[in-house]
């Protein structure tokens, strides 16, 4: 039985319950994180917590849990659920109110929830076993605060579902001026003539931790040329390589977009190089 953490207690998932007046349930009023753990080793723990704190501060949700306490909670969950390859989901909502009223209530106790789910083993840099992603593209119809990792994910869910119904693995999104923002649940990178590009961060994109790790690892440990810049939809079709990054996928090569082959239609050599570096350095963070 999956053991979860809820408001100070560790308990079996079927005993975990929250109030229907929880603002996370009523309004999606909360922040979440997903942190990968491979056989007990976390990737990017401090960066994930920093992003969560930034989100909570945007929402003016105050919690007193320290970084050390988060680490204790997560370590206990990993121990209780077996040191497998796990995604650690942590979630803080504003908590339950006595009525449904849009403005933030004066006093609520935030609801704090964490649970684990199994993820595949840490990806290896091997073209023979790496998954090949097929994506569609669509106009980004989400809200204009995608930099906040809010639990209000309906926009992302609807985009993802649209792709899923078309047997696509993900949907690459572009804004009204045909600039790539991100994908429904990942950040996007492209490679053209050996230059690695990813959209510059702003309110239209989540500042992905995997994205940040890729950029940092490349800057510190390679001579690859990298640019954070505008990427137009057209550049997607003519890219040599495309990758999607997220905590549960790391660097996923995309070989098809809107039914068109990307590059040779096979996983590229820059991916191989970058995933190799990522494997060497993922636990530095
Ligand atoms: N999704 N953009 C969006 C919209 C995301 O939902 C995610 C992650 C990312 C990548 O961020 P990171 O590298 O920090 O995981 C980008 C998570 C994994 C999820 O919702 O399950």
The overall average pLDDT reported for the chain is 97
194 and 58 in a common domain = no
171 has a pLDDT exceeding 80: yes
CA dist 18 to 6, 111, 112, 113, 278, Å? 9, 8, 10, 10, 39
Where residue 149 sits, what CATH number does that domain have?
3.20.10.10
Same domain, 50 and 92: yes
pLDDT at 60: 97
d(CA 129, CA 125): 8
User: Residue 51: is its pLDDT beyond 80?
Assistant: yes
pLDDT category, 107, cuts 50, 70, 90?
A: confident
**206 CB less than 6 Å from ligand 1?**
yes
Q: How many domains does the chain have?
A: 2
User: Tokens 């931790």 appear where?
Assistant: 209
Tens-digit pLDDT profile for residues 68-99: 999 999 999 999 999 899 999 999 999 999 99
Judged against a pLDDT cut of 90, whether residue 237 lies above it is answered with: yes
Q: Is the pLDDT of residue 1 over 80?
A: no
pLDDT at 279 over 90: yes
| Confidence bin at 147 (pLDDT 50/70/90) | very high
Question: Using an 8 Å Cβ cutoff, are 181 and 139 in contact?
Answer: no
Q: Which of 142, 151, 247, 285 to mutate to test the pocket of ligand 1 (most atoms within 8 A of CB)?
A: 247
Mean of the pLDDT values across residues 48-58? 98
Ligand 1 lined by 210 (C-beta under 6 Å): yes
State both tokens at 73.
């909670």
Return the H-helix or E-strand segment holding 73: helix 67-81
Asked if the structure places residue 241 within a domain, the reply is yes
Q: Is position 40 within any domain?
A: yes
Instruction: Report CA-CA distances (Å) from 98 to 28, 59, 242.
Output: 16, 19, 48
Q: How far is the CA of 246 from the centre of ligand 1 (A)?
A: 5
The model carries a pTM of 0.97
Domain hosting residue 161, numbered range: 133-281
pLDDT of residue 83: 84
Do 92 and 139 lie in a common domain? Answer: no
Domain boundary (118, 150, 168) is at 118
Which residues, 6+ apart, have CB-to-CB distance to 273 below 8 Å? 125, 222, 224
Q: Which pLDDT belongs to residue 177?
A: 98
Last residue of a domain, one of 92, 118, 144: 118
Q: How far apart are CA 204 and CA 159, in angstroms?
A: 15
Picking from 87, 80, 110, 106, the residue whose alpha carbon sits closest to that of residue 2 is 80
Return the ligand 1 atom nearest residue 89 CA.
21
User: Which residues form the catalytic set?
Assistant: 149
Per-residue pLDDT, 222: 98
The answer on 237 and 188 residing in a single domain is yes
Q: 176-234, pLDDT tens digit by residue? A: 999 999 999 999 999 999 999 999 999 999 999 999 999 999 999 999 999 999 999 99
Smallest CA separation from ligand 1 atom 9, residue: 186
Task: Kindly state if the Cβ of 185 falls inside 6 Å of ligand 1.
Answer: yes
The stretch 136-146 carries a mean pLDDT of 98
In a domain, residue 125? The reply is no
């Amino acid at each position: 039985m999956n053991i979860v953490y809820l408001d100070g207690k560790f308990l079996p998932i079927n005993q975990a319950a929250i109030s229907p007046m929880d603002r996370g349930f009523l309004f999606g009023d909360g922040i979440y994180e997903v942190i990968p753990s491979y056989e007990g080793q976390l990737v990017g723990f401090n960066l994930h917590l920093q992003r969560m704190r930034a989100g909570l501060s945007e929402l003016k949700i105050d919690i007193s849990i320290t970084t050390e306490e988060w680490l204790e909670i997560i370590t206990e969950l990993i121990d209780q659920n077996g040191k497998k390859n796990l995604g650690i989901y942590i979630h803080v909502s504003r908590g339950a109110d006595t009525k449904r009223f849009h403005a933030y209530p004066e006093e609520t106790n935030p609801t704090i929830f964490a649970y684990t789910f199994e993820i595949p083993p840490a990806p290896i840099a091997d073209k023979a076993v790496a998954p090949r992603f097929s994506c569609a593209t669509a106009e980004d119809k989400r809200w204009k605060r995608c930099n906040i990792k809010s639990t209000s994910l309906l926009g992302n869910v609807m985009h993802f579902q649209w792709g899923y119904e078309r047997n696509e693995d993900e949907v690459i999104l572009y804004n009204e001026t045909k600039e790539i923002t991100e994908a429904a649940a990942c950040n996007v990178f492209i490679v053209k003539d050996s230059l690695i590009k990813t959209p510059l961060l702003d309110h239209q994109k989540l500042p992905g931790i995997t994205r940040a790790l890729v950029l940092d690892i490349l800057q510190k440990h390679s001579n690859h040329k990298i640019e954070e810049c505008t990427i137009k939809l057209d550049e997607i079709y003519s890219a040599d390589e495309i990758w999607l990054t997220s905590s549960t996928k790391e660097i996923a090569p995309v070989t098809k977009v809107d039914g068109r082959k990307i590059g040779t239609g096979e996983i590229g050599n820059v991916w191989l190089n970058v995933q190799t570096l990522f494997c060497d350095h993922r636990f530095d963070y």
